[in-house]
């Protein structure tokens, strides 16, 4: 059974940084599309960034470009999201997700605000950015 666990959330002031982690277990590792999503109170879930674990191709939403970096450590089966220059509008619950299909990464890149569903999800980690 697939299991994803996020960590690294917290409270920071605007301009600060956080690094989120997503550790996977029970997953048939190999060709996996993994992504970070977020949902703020009263808003729809949106995609933030995605990575394909073979080859390391990455995709970013416009809000993430230039500030966030997604990566995956195959040795640790862990995905990361380094978030720099955080803004109050980044405040949200952040979720990681995984799916064996590459097309989900491509589809996500075409519609960050209405993301496709992924096969497995973590429980979320809260990020709060104060001004």
pLDDT tens per residue across span 48-89 = 999 999 888 999 999 999 999 999 998 899 999 999 999 999
Which 3 state secondary structure label does DSSP give 10? strand
pLDDT digits (tens, 9 = 90+) for 78-127: 999 999 999 999 999 999 999 988 899 998 989 998 889 999 999 999 99
pLDDT for the residue 130: 98
Mean pLDDT to the nearest integer, 27-36: 80
Q: Residue 42 and residue 80: Cα distance in Å, rounded?
A: 26
Mapped onto helix, strand or coil, the DSSP state of residue 106 is helix
Query: Confidence band (pLDDT; 50, 70, 90) for 26?
Result: confident
Q: Is the pLDDT of residue 28 over 90?
A: no
Work out the number of other CB atoms within 10 angstroms of the CB of residue 68: 21
């Amino acid at each position: 059974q697939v299991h994803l666990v996020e960590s690294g959330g917290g409270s920071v002031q605007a301009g600060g940084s956080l690094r989120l982690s997503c550790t996977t277990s029970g997953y048939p590792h190999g060709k996996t599309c993994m992504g970070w999503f977020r949902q703020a109170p009263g808003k729809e879930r949106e995609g933030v960034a995605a990575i394909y674990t073979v080859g390391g191709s990455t995709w970013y939403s416009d809000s993430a470009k230039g500030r966030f970096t997604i990566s995956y450590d195959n040795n640790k089966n862990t995905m990361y999201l380094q978030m720099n220059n955080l803004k109050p509008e980044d405040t949200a619950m952040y979720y990681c997700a995984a799916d064996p299909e590459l097309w989900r990464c491509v589809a996500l890149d075409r519609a960050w605000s209405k993301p496709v569903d992924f096969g497995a999800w973590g429980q979320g980690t809260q990020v709060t950015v104060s001004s």
